Amino acid sequence: MEVNKKVIYQNIEDALMDLNASDKGRYFICTCPECEKPEAFIYKNNLNFIQCNRQNECGARMLIHFQENKKAVIRHQLTNTYPSLTNQQANSLEMITKYLKHMQYRVENKNLERGYRGLSRETTQSFLVDLSHPLLVKKMFEHGKELFPKSYQENDWMCKRNLVFPIYDEEGTVDRVLLRSSIDPSLEPKEIQLIVNPSKETRDFFVDVPMEAELVVIGESVLDAASFKEIDPAIGFYALTGAAKSKNLSNYLVKNAELVKEKKFIIAPDDDQGGWKAARAIVSALEAIDADYQLFTTPAKINDPNQYLMEDYKGFKTQYQQVKHSFSNKERDFVDIKDGSEIIVFCSSRLDAISFRCIDPKIGVVTIPLEDNRSFLRVNEALKDPSIKMEDKKVILAMPKDPKGIYATKQLSSWLTQEQVHYQAFPYPDKVNSVNELFNESEKRFKEVCHKLFSLNQEKNIAIHRE
């Protein structure tokens, strides 16, 4: 990489002050020393490098050299930022962060170069470290020995967990690690999560969102989210560390609403109840801040995006392109009916559709936004696919209990009757007007209504028109 020149500062604090640095999470936006425009950036995991983002006008690349001992400065920063850390813990946190980043970015790994779960090394480098040998895992635990509750460096079972997924905070310091093993893939549990920084509530989701990324994927795991980056390196991603870990990311999205609203999101859940419940929490947060999003679903018998990538690369890429294209078309209808779906629910919002998937992922869902006059025509066309076999399905009409919803229910009733398809209307309890409202009021009550409704035999049409 060609570097234009070197700039020298006494320490990190002086550099950030002189360059008018503005903290943007994983990086600082700074004044470029070359063109003096406020469009240069410094990533926190490489404080010795600054680059101007004005590629056509400047694009200067510069090294930053610190005269003061950088190691002492970092330790001083850590003890100031996290006052509950002892000096020994601050030293351990500095050392384990430095060790992981060195192994992640500066040490070639032949195993990862050959690819990991369908992902190239170029894709995995930002989130995966292969320490490759128990002795190197032991060294990681030795660096962090003041931070962990147990002496993991003395545990052979832990030292076989060579695949390390580090989660860094906004300052570039490691917060927690996820550990797996390729040395002994039979180890159970398959994944262990360890908090590295004991002095704060650590981040439990991965962030890889370049400032120039227009499209951002949210997946249940980092492997799922990174599967999209494998086919489109320009995207960013957020990745949960499990289906039950959606709360902190949801809060983060709402808290950073102004920054988040500039992006377009693809929500790509695992196709199980836990995955759809996590997706519902994320979608609720995105709708609360009026962010633009689309849903990405997997075919039958494929549970998650990473499995989809590995088993059907071409199909995965095609579906991604279709979902990406739907942003430009402003389409908000959603049709997802899998092989084996016995029940199909018609509703007016994607959040309603996701609510039903939280009950049973096999439920076919059809979303017809009431404000989109062309949506019904698009859905009608989609349902003409002969493989769907509408006449064999149980159809539930779950439009909201308002004038527009009642009108849509009547239209759908007429259409389904013409198609000789049996249907029922969703029996809303009193004073409840929509699926989302019922789910938010009582998930338990929503499940009870659904289970009772889905168990009914449909011998004839039961249309409930609410006047």
Summarize pLDDT for 290-329 with one digit per residue, the tens. 999 999 999 989 999 999 999 999 999 999 999 999 998 7
Quick check: 79 pLDDT over 70? Answer: no
Element (H, E) at 376: helix 375-382
Quick check: 458 pLDDT over 70? Answer: no
Please count the residues of the chain. 467
Least confident window among 29-43, 55-69, 226-240, 285-299: 55-69
Question: How large a percentage of the chain has pLDDT more than 90?
Answer: 58
What is the mean predicted confidence (pLDDT) over 76-92? 78
* CA angle (365, 369, 374) in 5-degree steps: 110
Summarize pLDDT for 201-224 with one digit per residue, the tens. 889 999 999 888 999 999 999 999
Question: CA-CA distance, 73 to 82, in Å (whole number)?
Answer: 14
Quick check: 465 pLDDT over 50? Answer: no
Q: Please, which residues have CB within 8 angstroms of residue 415's CB and are 6 or more apart in sequence?
A: 380
What is the mean predicted confidence (pLDDT) over 53-73? 74
Q: Are strands 5-9 and 61-66 parallel, antiparallel or unpaired?
A: parallel
Tell me the helices (H) and strands (E) count for the chain, helix number first.
18, 20
Q: For residue 15, what pLDDT is reported?
A: 82
Q: How would you label 437-450 residue by residue, b for 16+ Cβ within 10 Å and e otherwise?
A: ebbeeeeeebeebb
What is the mean predicted confidence (pLDDT) over 256-274? 93
What is the mean predicted confidence (pLDDT) over 327-352? 88
Q: For residue 2, what pLDDT is reported?
A: 52
Determine how many CB atoms are found less than 10 A away from the CB of residue 348. Answer: 26
Categorize the per-residue pLDDT at 190 as very low, low, confident or very high, splitting at 50, 70 and 90. Answer: very high
Question: CA-CA distance, 332 to 347, in Å (whole number)?
Answer: 12
Q: For residue 457, what pLDDT is reported?
A: 47
Q: For residue 290, what pLDDT is reported?
A: 93
Q: For residue 162, what pLDDT is reported?
A: 97
Summarize pLDDT for 89-147 with one digit per residue, the tens. 988 998 999 999 999 988 888 889 999 999 999 999 999 999 999 999 999 999 999 99
Categorize the per-residue pLDDT at 389 as very low, low, confident or very high, splitting at 50, 70 and 90. Answer: confident
Q: For residue 135, what pLDDT is reported?
A: 96
The answer to whether 133 and 166 are in contact (CB under 8 A) is no
Question: CA-CA distance, 41 to 406, in Å (whole number)?
Answer: 53
Element (H, E) at 204: none
Quick check: 72 pLDDT over 60? Answer: no
Q: For residue 183, what pLDDT is reported?
A: 95
Q: For residue 73, what pLDDT is reported?
A: 53
What is the mean predicted confidence (pLDDT) over 364-380? 83
Determine how many CB atoms are found less than 10 A away from the CB of residue 392. Answer: 10
Summarize pLDDT for 165-187 with one digit per residue, the tens. 999 988 889 999 999 999 999 99
What is the mean predicted confidence (pLDDT) over 410-426? 89
Element (H, E) at 310: helix 305-311
The token duo for 39 is 């469009």
CA distances (Å), 29 to each of 15, 361, 431, in order? 12, 43, 51
β-sheet with 215-219: strand ranges across: 205-208, 236-240, 215-219, 264-268, 292-295
What is the mean predicted confidence (pLDDT) over 63-84? 66
Q: Enter the pTM of the model.
A: 0.80
Q: Please, which residues have CB within 8 angstroms of residue 467's CB and are 6 or more apart in sequence?
A: 406
The answer to whether 269 and 278 are in contact (CB under 8 A) is yes
Q: For residue 176, what pLDDT is reported?
A: 96
Give the CA diameter of the chain: 82
Mean pLDDT (the chain, rounded): 88
Least confident window among 24-38, 250-264, 298-312: 24-38
CA distances (Å), 345 to each of 71, 203, 362, 431, 450, in order? 59, 37, 11, 21, 11
Q: For residue 227, what pLDDT is reported?
A: 98
Q: For residue 467, what pLDDT is reported?
A: 33
